Amino acid sequence: MARNTVSRSLHDLGLAAWFGGTLANAVALNAAAGEAGGKDAGAVANAGWNRWTPVNAVAIGAHLVGSVGQLAGNRQRLAAQPGVKTMSSVKTVLTVAALGATAYSRALGKVVDAAGAPHVKGGTKSSRRTPSDVAAAQGKLDLMQWVIPGLTGALVVVSSFAGEQQRPSEVLESLAGHR
């Protein structure tokens, strides 16, 4: 079997950045923006998320390229080893869901960003002075900021499971048991 170091690295590093960056921004950036207070809170959150977006796009792209490389490199196992198709299907569904959640969150973020520096309590917390469209977007972002790390974290777990499936003992046992 050939080594897939480049595709595995792209897959893993891209996923690590996608997961870690969104989790860090949810935990730290959005809360820290609130510490700025008033109009500055909205400006700080917008600036932080706008700086993260291109990095996140590169991370997601790297993950997707690596995923395709992993599929190509493991096509024989995918066809022959029991359980690998199911694992791959679960990863695909989670990836599509994470991509959708990320795109939806970016669209919501653009609503907040278009308002300039709205008066807010934090990156995802509106105040009484927040315009209604921005407050509605922030309310949805408050949930989505946790959905994305949840989905990408699940991808990390399934990827770990996939790695366990590649152990020689797992491959031999599953193939020997299904001949």
Please write the tens of the pLDDT for every residue from 144-162.
Answer: 999 999 999 999 999 999 8
Q: Rounded to whole angstroms, how far apart are CA atoms 41 and 110?
A: 16
Bigger pLDDT: 147 vs 35: 147
Long-range contacts of 160-164 (CB under 8 A, 24+ apart): 161/87, 162/84, 162/87, 162/88, 162/91
- Can you tell me which residue has the tokens 């706008």? 50
pTM: 0.90
Mean pLDDT of 82-110: 95
Domain definitions of the chain by residue range = 5-176
Consecutive H or E run containing 131:
none
**Res 133: pLDDT:** 95
132 Rama sector, left if φ>0, alpha if ψ -120 to 50, beta otherwise: alpha
Q: Model confidence over 3-29: pLDDT tens digits?
A: 889 999 999 999 999 999 999 999 999
SS (H, E, C) 10-77: HHHHHHHHHHHHHHHHHHHHHHHHHHHCHHHHHHHHHHHHHHHHHHHHHHHHHHHHHHHHHHHHCHHH
